[in-house]
Chains A and B, each alone.
Chain A
Amino acid sequence: AQRVTQPEKLLSVFKGAPVELKCNYSYSGSPELFWYVQYSRQRLQLLLRHISRESIKGFTADLNKGETSFHLKKPFAQEEDSAMYYCALSKASGSRLTFGEGTQLTVNP
Chain B
Amino acid sequence: NAGVTQTPKFQVLKTGQSMTLQCAQDMNHNSMYWYRQDPGMGLRLIYYSASEGTTDKGEVPNGYNVSRLNKREFSLRLESAAPSQTSVYFCASRMQAGVADTQYFGPGTRLTVL
Residues in B lying within 8 Å of A, measured CB to CB: 4, 31, 33, 35, 40-45, 48, 50, 58, 90, 92, 94, 96-98, 100, 102-103, 105-108
Of the residues A45, A90, A101, contact of B100 by C-beta under 8 Å: A90
State the 9 A-B residue pairs at the shortest beta-carbon distance, nearest first: A95-B97, A99-B43, A32-B100, A99-B42, A101-B42, A46-B102, A44-B105, A43-B105, A43-B107
Q: Please, which residue of chain B has its CB at the minimum distance from the CB of A42?
A: B107
Q: Interface extent on A, as a size class? A: 20 to 34
Are A96 and B100 in contact, CB atoms less than 8 angstroms apart? no
**Extra inter-chain contacts (16) besides given A43-B105, A43-B106, A86-B43, CB under 8 Å:** A43-B4, A43-B107, A44-B105, A46-B102, A46-B103, A49-B100, A49-B102, A51-B100, A86-B42, A90-B100, A92-B100, A94-B97, A94-B98, A95-B94, A95-B98, A99-B35
Check B108–A43 contact: CB distance below 8 A. yes
Q: With the chains together, A68 CA to B96 CA distance in Å?
A: 26
Per-position binary interface string of chain A over residues 41-58, scored 1 when its CB falls under 8 Å from any chain B CB and 0 otherwise: 011111001010000000
Number of A-B contacts (CB under 8 A): 54
Are A96 and B48 neighbours in the complex by a CB distance under 8 Å?
yes
- Where the two chains meet, the residues of A that have a C-beta atom closer than 8 Å to any C-beta of B are 4, 6, 9, 32, 34, 42-46, 49, 51, 86, 90, 92-102
Contacts of B102 in A (CB 8 A): 34, 46, 49
CB proximity of A5 to chain B, nearest CB, Å: 10
- B42: chain A residues at CB < 8 Å are 4, 6, 86, 99-102
CB distance from A44 to the nearest CB of B (A): 4
A15 to B20, CA, bound (A): 43
| A97–B32 alpha-carbon span in the complex (Å) | 12
Contact: B98 with A101, CB < 8 Å? no
Among B90, B98, B102, B105, chain A packs the most CB atoms within 10 A around the CB of B102
